[in-house]
Structure 1
Amino acid sequence: MDLIDLSRVTDQKATFDGFLHQVRDRFGFDHVAYLGANPVAGIMHGYVTYPEEWKQLYIACDFHLIDPTLTMAQRSIAPVSWERLEHNENFRKVFSKAREYDITSQGMTIPVRGPFGDTGLLSVTLDADATEWRKRISSSIGELQSVAVHMHDAVMNSDALSGILRRTQLSSRETEILQWIAAGKSQQDVADILGISIRTVEVHLRSAREKLYSLTTPQAVARAIALHLIYPL
């Protein structure tokens, strides 16, 4: 099943919600949630698959101000497993209520950073034993990081001004290398195809990651595809 290309839609809220439901069903999670902060437009964006009753209670109780799955992940550059979080008073406040809506405290949050101070957090949950949870995350974490970037960029670009500011210029060589990586080639494969050293490939990939404000090469590929700088194969 192909996921929605969020850069090509106009009915934004319905499509963002639908996209998260697709992600949930594709990877077999209980719930998927996205929270993004756009300082350029001064807007917070939130899309979730949680029950409507829980969404209303969460907002009414200002849980977003104390939810450790958000506060900890906002300070991280790597995915944050909720099992690593301290089970302090704030954790208990949020998840004692969440359990009433069959929402587990077993989850992971993937942070995304943008070029203008914008941040995004994609969270997934699954009520399963520890072995099944780790297996599910291990098999999907790479794709989930790409999904997080895809979702974040689409949400941020939904504001016209932000979309204009976020335009990125890659060199022809950086674009070429990212396109080969998107096609499933290894860095050594790319070096052989282009007749350059693997060190040169690594230098161009590092430059591309920096220009695309990406922590990893898969995130850079996902962002380049979302911006139509390269194309999925």
Structure 2
Amino acid sequence: MKAELRDYLIELTNMDSVEALWSAHCERMATYGFDRLIYGFTNFRTENSLGDPNDFVILTNHTPAYRKGFVEDGLYRHAPMVNWAMTNEGHCSWRALAEQITAGSLSENARKVVEFNLSHKVHAGYTISFKSVSSRAKGAISLTTRAEMNQDQADAIWEKDGQDIILLNNIVHLKILTLPVPLQNQTLTPRQREALEWVGDGKTMQDIAQIMGLTQATIEKHLRLARETLNVETTAQAVAKAAFHNQMYIIEAR
């Protein structure tokens, strides 16, 4: 392994925030020619769905307009490369998508996704689908080339540096899973987080009240607000969601 790449990997694995990690990764991928990335991970996949988008971890440096259309407006549900990632592991050239277009095998909804992508100059790249250890988990990242590049150029880059690119993305994916992930409009207060942590440790309401030096009514209020913040119905769901996003047992910076 080249010393420069080794040093960079050490730097990545020592990063302590998703924001710093993602910024560094976007810069690194841009050096290979992939200047627009979108990463997604869910731990709530079902047989026919990726689950509630509010529970996804989504990181991207695409424009807000692209994110709105692709993620928030739900186009991802019909995206051919997302569907590929759902049922495969490894990497795939977007040449496979061009072949589907040529063969006329895309659905009407899939064609709308392609048209949307083309309107944002998203037309060449690669998708990596990460290996999952759970049937409910799925993570993937799409790497889009610079707007002026084509798929032939993307494939040439992959031929030369694909193994390094896969290694870097695998490490970033695994690192993201260890870091607290910011949740849009779903930030727990320290008291809410602490109450959830004690629930996760199996403590009773009476135990938690005594440990935190508060009344049981106040503990119940913190847990109710935590459920509302995380948009779940039960405290058990709140614990699961907070744990999934690494929002529990956080070591605060000093």
TM-score (norm 1): 0.58
Cα distance in 2 for partners of 1:94, 1:4 equals 38
Q: Which string of whole-angstrom CA distances, capped at 9 and with x for unpartnered residues, describes residues 66-117 of structure 1?
A: 111111122112312222132312332112122222222x221111113334
Conserved 8 A contact 2:39-2:58: yes
Report the counterpart of residue 112 of structure 1 in structure 2: 130
Report the counterpart of residue 22 of structure 1 in structure 2: 27
Structure 2 matches for 1:88-167, cutoff 5 A?
A: 88=106, 89-104=108-123, 106-117=124-135, 118-126=137-145, 127=147, 128-158=149-179
Aligned residues: 157
Letter in 2 for 1:66: H
> Deviation at 1:130?
4.2
Cα distance in 2 for partners of 1:8, 1:134 equals 31
Conserved 8 A contact 2:75-2:113: yes
- What is the aligned-residue RMSD (CA, Å)? 2.6
TM-score (norm 2): 0.54
Rate the CA distance shift 1:149–1:112 in 2: closer, same or farther, 3 A.
same
Conserved 8 A contact 2:94-2:151: no
Structure 2 residue runs of 5 or longer lacking an equivalent are 46-51, 182-254
Structure 2 matches for 1:1-233, cutoff 5 A?
A: 2=8, 5-12=11-18, 14-39=19-44, 43-85=55-97, 86-87=100-101, 88=106, 89-104=108-123, 106-117=124-135, 118-126=137-145, 127=147, 128-158=149-179
Greater CA drift, 135-144 or 14-23? 14-23
Conserved 8 A contact 1:73-1:121: yes
Cα distance in 1 for partners of 2:10, 2:115 equals 34
Cα distance in 1 for partners of 2:64, 2:152 equals 30
Conserved 8 A contact 1:37-1:119: yes
> Deviation at 1:7?
3.6
Q: Which string of whole-angstrom CA distances, capped at 9 and with x for unpartnered residues, describes residues 191-215 of structure 1?
A: xxxxxxxxxxxxxxxxxxxxxxxxx
Conserved 8 A contact 2:36-2:61: yes
Structure 1 residue runs of 5 or longer lacking an equivalent are 161-233
Identity, % of aligned positions: 16
Cα distance in 2 for partners of 1:121, 1:138 equals 20
Q: Which string of whole-angstrom CA distances, capped at 9 and with x for unpartnered residues, describes residues 123-180 of structure 1?
A: 21224244322211111210121122112111222269xxxxxxxxxxxxxxxxxxxx
Cα distance in 1 for partners of 2:117, 2:161 equals 25
Cα distance in 1 for partners of 2:26, 2:35 equals 10
> Deviation at 1:27?
0.9
Letter in 2 for 1:93: K
Query: Would you identify which runs of 4 or more consecutive aligned residues in structure 1 move more than 6 Å?
Result: none
SS of 1:72's equivalent in the other structure is: helix
Rate the CA distance shift 1:129–1:75 in 2: closer, same or farther, 3 A.
same
Conserved 8 A contact 2:90-2:131: no
> Deviation at 1:18?
0.3
